[in-house]
Amino acid sequence: MLKSEVVTVPDLVGRTVAQARAELAKKDLSLAQKGTEPSDRLEKGLIARQDPAAGSRIRTTTVIQVLTSSGSGVVPVPDLASKTLDEALTLLQAVGLTKGKLTQVHTPRLPAGRILAQKPEPGTVVERNFPVGLLLSQGDIDDRYIMPDLIGLRADGVIGRLNALGFRIADIRYVYYPQAPAGIIVKQDPTNGFRVQKRNRISLEVSR
């Protein structure tokens, strides 16, 4: 074909970019992908709009501009109840939603760090990137303990007891400590007398 020839623009909507390029090449036309837009009827990656429109008469030097589908513009809000904050944020991100206002309250209903409620309710259909408000449990307001003095105690007994009570042993380091027999706790964090909750991290150093 000559560059100045006039041709009819084919219908590219619903095709992949690769399919559209192949179709346009038959008429010496070229394609430019200009971005994306939500579409409830076309799968992600398919052409949702074109300019000039199908059926237009244009010269072969004209570039056909297209927008591809980014997928559905609306999504149902997932159920976040009892999830940890990290789990809830991962679920929101997976469906294209964002974290809205985060409120934290003390309650005995759920352990600290768990989602008590959300707004909108689960199943509500909203637009992508809609902010979902979260109500996060901080645990029972009285769920605090005084850290005991663990220095000089046998580590195996202490660790087993703390685990049984639901405390988190985040780190155990075994160090050379000539003044103590092997297996004895020589350092603790938090220290004796510190107020802790079960979700707080406890670190120990044990003689070896």
Does one domain contain both 79 and 39? no
The pLDDT assigned to 200 comes to 85
> 49-78, pLDDT tens digit by residue?
999 999 999 999 899 999 999 887 888 999
Domain boundary among 21, 37, 69: 69
Tell me the sheet residues that pair with 169.
202
Question: Where does the pLDDT of residue 28 fall: very low under 50, low under 70, confident under 90, or very high at 90 and above?
Answer: very high
Q: What is the mean pLDDT of residues 180-189?
A: 94
Residue 101 shares a structural domain with residue 154: no
**Structural tokens at position 4:** 């100045």
Each residue of 169-184: pLDDT tens digit? 989 999 999 989 999 9
CATH number at residue 106: 3.30.10.20
Q: Residue 152, by phi and psi: left (phi above 0), alpha (psi -120 to 50) or beta?
A: left
What band does 16 get if pLDDT is binned at 50, 70 and 90? very high
Res 1: pLDDT: 45
- Looking at 45, 69, 93, the residue that finishes a domain is 69
Note whether 78 and 31 are same-domain residues.
no
Looking at the 3D structure of the chain, how many domains does it have?
3
86 shares a domain with 103: yes
Residues spanned by the domain of 90: 74-137
pLDDT digits (tens, 9 = 90+) for 124-154: 999 889 999 999 998 877 667 889 999 999 9
